[in-house]
Each structure stands twice: as structure tokens, then as C-alpha cells.
Amino acid sequence: MARDYYRILGVDSKASDQEIKRAYRKLARELHPDVNPDDAAQEKFRDVSDAYEVLSDPEKRRVVDMGGDPLDSSPGGFGGGAGGFGAGGFTGGLGDVFEAFFGGGMGGGGRGPRGRVRPGDDALIRMELDLEECATGVSREITVDTAVLCDKCQGAGTEGDSKPTTCPTCQGAGEVQSVQRSFLGQVMTSRPCPTCSGAGEVIQNPCSKCAGDGRVRSRRTLTVKIPAGVGDGMRVRLAGQGEVGPGGGPAGDLYVEVTEREHEFLVRDGNTLHVTARVPMFDAALGGAVTMPTVIDGELSVEIPAGIQPGDTKVLRGHGMPQVNTQNRGNLVVHFDVVVPARLDKKQAEKLREFKALFPGEEPHVARRGGPDQSSGLFSRLRDTFAGR
């Protein structure tokens, strides 16, 4: 059964060449293996590429419009010769079967010339940003070396008014065939024509600037706008800024991949930022304030509640990273790390003993699982800390 190439590309049967090209480029950007590695997407990308190959070739498209499939070499597919499995069927041995499959029975069975004009490849560059730049977004100029349309021949690949000619080796078929003998019989194989590389035509008088490729290497400067909220590994797509294809084919896309540098204080988890505040045990007991860095709002003064416990947190809502293309922002989570003095002089130790005497009954002990002292007080935890040193 012939494949519906128009449906695969999502175009009408009366679509123009430009409409077919635009539809292919749109689908190729979504399904290209470099962008979408999913197996199902790669299979669909092959179908889309086949559809473009067929519908961009006038002769193959004519076969489709007649109800056939130029890529189908089975009987009725119009892609092979008239021999096939026709009139008498097979009466010979296994060698005759293979001879019919790979020899004259399919009339060549190839896919025909692929043409000189093909879509260009996508390109990828990496850009390193710090956390503040990821949070606010930036505009950067980048320099890229890519293939651009040859301004002398405008992609034709020929010098002056000359035109490509039919390849003398493959006679325009784009492939050459050879017959090999084996114990199974005669086997015919096809491979791209070595003279025209499968294009079906050759350029006798190539353009002196691009040597017949229709494109040249050039260094360009582009301005890239990175939106606020991007993160490590995210990509920004610049449509049509990739490489121009052979023969002046449509350009691919340019992808700018962000590499995020680590921040001195802040740790990012999606749109949430985390920061650790080291609090002396005296401020943890009495309360106080600490100055906190942010990525957009400058420095914030954050209150330290009296009696804060080691590992307690405080959430500052809306002070985290922006969400790309929205007005939403994540949170900033402050983690309190209570700092216990490692060394005390004689006077300091005496003062702490006097302070400890104000809390009779508070002694180191083993906490009972599920018991009330699971949430023991600050100084019980501090004494546990000292005991573990």
C-alpha cells in the first residue's frame, strides 16, 4: 500500500514546493536526532525525510499523484520495473528467487538520485553564564563559523550561466549497480554513484568561489537573547541560523546551550535557591539578623528567630529563580547552621558553667525514640555536640 507522503508532511496534495519545504523544515527541527533522541521521533524523522525526498522531486511526486509509491519496489508500488512477480510466478529454485529479487525482477528498485539541494545541518555552541545572568537574562554577541549561501552563484554551484549535466556514469539514476554471483544465485547490489555522489548530475564548470558546493564558510556575528530563568543544559534556538545545506539548501538552526557557573553562596535546585547561614550559638539562643545574598533583589536582611535549632530552615517566598517565559519566581530557602565554639579560654568556660547552672536538670542523655525529648532544646543539642568531639 502506497504511503501518504502528503499526510506525513501535513500538507495538501496541491501544496507548492515552498510549502512542502517549510513543512519539512518545521518537522525536521522538532524530530532531528540531535534535538529529539527518542526512538519514536527518529523513526518519524526518517518518514518525514522520505516524504520530503519524494515530494521535492517532480518525477517522484507525479508517481505519488498517480497512486503509486516511488520508494516501494513491490508490485503495484510503481517504484520498480514491470517484471516483478507478474505473469508466471516462480518455477525455478532458490537462486531464481534471489535473482528475481535482486536482479532484473525489480527494474533497479533504487531510490533514484537524491539531488544536489539538501537541508543544512543544525549547529550548536555553548555559552557560560553565572547565576545572576541566568536569573535576569542577557543579550550577548556571539561569533559563529558556518556555511552560508555562496553570493557568487546563489547556491547553483555553477560558473556564470552554465548548468549541471546528467551524470555520464549513472545516467542520472544517482546509483550504480553490480551483479555478484553467490551460492544463492545472482545478487544485484546498488550503491551511490562515485562520480556524482548520488546527485544524478555533475557540474562541468563549477563556481570558482564555492567549487560547486553552493555554499562557503563564513564568520558571522549574531546577537543572542537569553531569557530570564534559563539553567544549565537549556538551549536557545535561533531558527535558520545554522548551516546552509549543500546546493544552497535551506539552513538548519543554531542552538545556544547554557553552561551555568557555580555560585559562591547559592545552590540552585530548579527554580528554588538554597543558602546556608552560619549562626553563632549565642545569636541562635537570643535571635538576631543575617544579611543574605539574592540573584535579583540584592542583599536581604533575614531575621533569626530566638531559639533557632540546628538544621532549621526559613523560606523566603518569591526570592528564587524566575520561571522561563513567566512572571513566576521560586523561593529562597535559608538553612541555619548553629556554630558551637571549638575552644574556650578559662574565663569563657566559667561563664558558660554559670549559664548552665540556670538550667537545672538539663543533662546529656539518650533520647527515647518517639519520646518528648526527640525535640530536645538547643543546649542539650550543643552538649551532645561537645560530647561527640
Q: Which residues pair with 124 in a beta bridge?
A: 255
Between the alpha carbon of residue 294 and those of residues 227, 271, 301, 304, the distances in Å are 18, 13, 11, 17
Around Cβ 204, how many Cβ atoms within 10 Å? 12
Q: Is 210 annotated as a binding residue?
A: yes
- Rounded CA separation 36/17 (Å): 26
Q: List the alpha helices (DSSP H) in the chain.
A: 5-9, 17-31, 39-55, 58-65, 94-102, 131-136, 281-286, 346-356, 378-387
- Rounded CA separation 368/375 (Å): 10
- Maximum separation of any 2 CA atoms in the chain, in Å: 113
Q: Is 207 annotated as a binding residue?
A: yes
Contacts 24+ apart (CB under 8 A), 263-267: 263/130, 263/131, 263/295, 265/293, 266/131, 266/293, 266/295
Q: Is 134 annotated as a binding residue?
A: no
Of 252, 276, 253, the residue nearest 263 (C-alpha): 276
End-to-end CA distance of the chain: 79
Annotated binding site for Zn(2+): 150, 153, 167, 170, 193, 196, 207, 210
Binding residues: 150, 153, 167, 170, 193, 196, 207, 210
